[in-house]
């Protein structure tokens, strides 16, 4: 699975941080279509990400 990450070293401790962006969401949405899943669910806590909603609307029929 694709994702976006940042890595680095500080005081001899390695750090790796993963985050969502358009590329990682696109990869997950590709899997939904590849496996012919009938739906999915996820949540974003305290994070408004406009590109997420635009990408969803472009790729899927959303039943409200």
Q: Identify the bridge partners of residue 7 per DSSP, sorted by sequence position.
A: 16
User: Residue 64 domain-assigned?
Assistant: no
Enter the tokens of residue 51.
Answer: 């590109």
7 and 15 in contact (C-beta within 8 Å)? yes
User: Residue 43 domain-assigned?
Assistant: yes
- Please tell me the predicted confidence (pLDDT) of residue 42: 77
Range of the domain at 19: 4-59
User: Residue 19 domain-assigned?
Assistant: yes
Question: pLDDT per residue over 4-58, tens digit each?
Answer: 656 665 677 877 888 788 888 899 999 999 999 988 887 766 677 888 889 988 9
User: Residue 15 domain-assigned?
Assistant: yes
Q: How far is CA 3 from the centre of its chain?
A: 7
Q: How many domains does the chain have?
A: 1
Query: Which of 14, 15, 25 lies closest to 47, judged by CA?
Result: 25
């Amino acid at each position: 699975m694709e994702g976006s990450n940042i890595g680095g070293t500080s005081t001899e401790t390695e750090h790796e941080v993963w985050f969502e962006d358009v590329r990682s969401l696109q990869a997950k949405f590709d899997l939904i279509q590849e496996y012919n899943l009938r739906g999915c669910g996820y949540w974003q806590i305290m994070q408004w990400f406009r590109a997420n909603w635009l990408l969803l609307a472009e790729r899927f029929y959303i039943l409200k």
